[in-house]
Amino acid sequence: MNTISEKEKQTVEKAKQGFEIGLFAQNYSQIHSDEQHLTSLLDLCQFVNDKHYLDLGTGNGYIAFEMAKQTPDIFVTGIDIVAKAIEVNNQKAKNYNRLKFIVYQGLELPFDDHEFFGVISRYAFHHFPNPNLAAKEISRIVQEDGFCIIADPTPIKLDNAEFINQFASLKDDGHVRFHTKEEIESIFGEAGFRVEGQIISSVTFPREMNMEYKRLVEQTSPDILEAYQVQIEKSQIYVTIEVLNTCFRHD
């Protein structure tokens, strides 16, 4: 049994509350949908018929539905902390025989040991309050020689002042931390995974401009602002960040 702190539970609850609104916002799908990125991620996978795969932090099911559509002979489960999203996804999944969505509490995974051959998590890992526990839980449920793909924004090395994490934390959605390449590899290496492949993509996040963002920009060096392609247009501020997509193989 893992020891889970009250602070970790509160972080999950904060993320849940934020995404109960954010997942259904008009611009959510526009920001998070990227066909080229989706194709690249699925190309990292090696799907085997009749094996089970998990979309961790499924949100609106963007990854899970495409997996089920492209490879109908596999079993796909999407899991998320937002019950409303899971309900909506399950309604849409009625035409898929091997696709289902379930809600969980955001920390320990409600699955048996070695239940899945592969786990994919896209744009979710920075919300996990205990990344080491998350990697340990993924390791527990993945079969020997199975895989895990983590796709998440990663800070630039120049960003010693943690600009991008401060920027993300100004949105009230339970952001914890964007991890560096070295941090991600260390976290999953300690959990029994080795790096099999990596690709780099990018994502642009728009935010409604306010005084907090203004102060953050003013105190940040121009080099860092340029590296993140920070742009301010009317009432919006835009930041572009690299996404590290890593396929880990379970030893």
Residues 194, 149: Cα–Cα separation, whole Å: 11
Closest by CA to 66, choosing from 83, 88, 47, is 47
What pLDDT does 28 receive?
Answer: 60
Domain 6-154+171-200+244-250 has CATH 3.40.50.2000: no
pTM: 0.93
The domain spans of the chain are 6-154+171-200+244-250
> Which sign, positive or negative, has the C-alpha torsion 7, 8, 9, 10?
positive
How far from the centroid of its chain's Cα atoms is residue 203's Cα?
A: 12
**Rounded to the nearest 5°, which phi and psi values hold at 241?**
-130, 145
Residues 20, 59: Cα–Cα separation, whole Å: 10
- Averaged over successive runs of 10 residues, the pLDDT of the chain (251 residues) comes to 81 84 65 83 91 96 95 97 95 95 95 98 95 97 96 95 95 92 97 96 94 97 97 94 96 85
Tell me the β-bridge partners of 241. 203
Residue showing tokens 């509160």: 10
Strands 75-80 vs 99-103: parallel, antiparallel or unpaired:
parallel
What pLDDT does 1 receive?
Answer: 58
Strands 142-153 vs 116-122: parallel, antiparallel or unpaired:
parallel
What pLDDT does 227 receive?
Answer: 97
What pLDDT does 66 receive?
Answer: 95
Burial 11-47 (b: 16+ CB within 10 A, else e): bbebbbebbeebbeeeeeeeebebeebbebbbebbee
What pLDDT does 229 receive?
Answer: 97
